[in-house]
Amino acid sequence: MKKIITGMFLLVCTMAYSQEKTQNSFKRFVKENYVNFTDIGGLFGKSYQITPNAIQNPNYSYTVKASTNFTIQTFNGLKVYKNLAVGATVGVDWFSSYQIIPISLGIRNTFGDIKTKKVKTFAGIDAGFGFMWLNDEISPSNEIKGGLAISPMVGLLIPTGGNANFTLSVGYKHNRFKSKIDNGTLDYPYLIENQYNFNRMAIRLGVNF
């Protein structure tokens, strides 16, 4: 009986030690390979609104007045191969009356030795879905649905003297969403469906660590 109890005790201790060792190894892996890019900046250029409503000029598109808009985002990922990191990007893009929350799968790759204190280059891309959660209450008759969000970029990593870098990047930003306005009745139907495609140049400043 003593041998059985002793054996069970040793088995439990071994399992607990192995679990703790695995947890410590995972924490160490995350700590050594964690990558963050947090950026703010501007969106520049023209956007295009497409109205595919069959009643009002089907497939007609027209240019929306050029404007400068604000964007903010943060990428959190892990290095999976050398300087290549894969993770998730969350942000907010302001387009006049609309705010889009893109949630995307992101990739960042730093070129050169990341340990050097010299200026380095990096490239990345985010691809996902832009949610319209901040616009749900525009009006009861106005339904808004999000859509595709894509943002490739290239930039510079400028050392701060510590473990972090300042970032300067230039890229392209595409956001898409749809709106539907239904103010009609059974006798007098009134329905307008619009699809918005925003294509902007993005210039961002931020930090990386």
Other CB atoms within 10 Å distance of the CB of residue 6: 10
- Of residues 101 and 188, more confidently modeled: 101
113: closest CA among 159, 160, 155?
159
Binning the chain into helix, strand and coil, the percentages to the nearest 5 are 15, 60, 25
Q: What angle (nearest 5°) sits at the alpha carbon of residue 49, between those of residues 198 and 62?
A: 120
Spatial separation of the C-alpha atoms in residues 193 and 50, rounded to whole Å: 9
Computed over every residue of the chain, the mean pLDDT equals 82
Domain-embedded: residue 5: no
Domain-embedded: residue 69: yes
145 close to 100: Cβ distance less than 8 angstroms: no
The residue behind tokens 């473990």 is 163
The string of pLDDT tens digits covering residues 149-193 is: 999 999 999 999 888 999 999 999 999 998 887 776 666 666 778
Domain that residue 165 falls in: 34-208
How many domains in the chain?
Answer: 1
171 close to 156: Cβ distance less than 8 angstroms: no
Find the range with the poorest average confidence among 47-51, 100-104, 144-148, 176-180. 47-51
Domain-embedded: residue 8: no
Domain-embedded: residue 168: yes
Six token digits for residue 110: 């730093």
Write the Ramachandran bin of 59: left for phi over 0, alpha for psi from -120 to 50, otherwise beta: left
Domain-embedded: residue 24: no
Domain-embedded: residue 75: yes
pTM above 0.85, yes or no: no
Domain-embedded: residue 169: yes
| 54: pLDDT strictly greater than 50 | no
Q: How far apart are the first and last CA of the chain?
A: 56
Domain-embedded: residue 190: yes
**Could you tell me the CATH number of the domain that includes residue 123?**
2.40.160
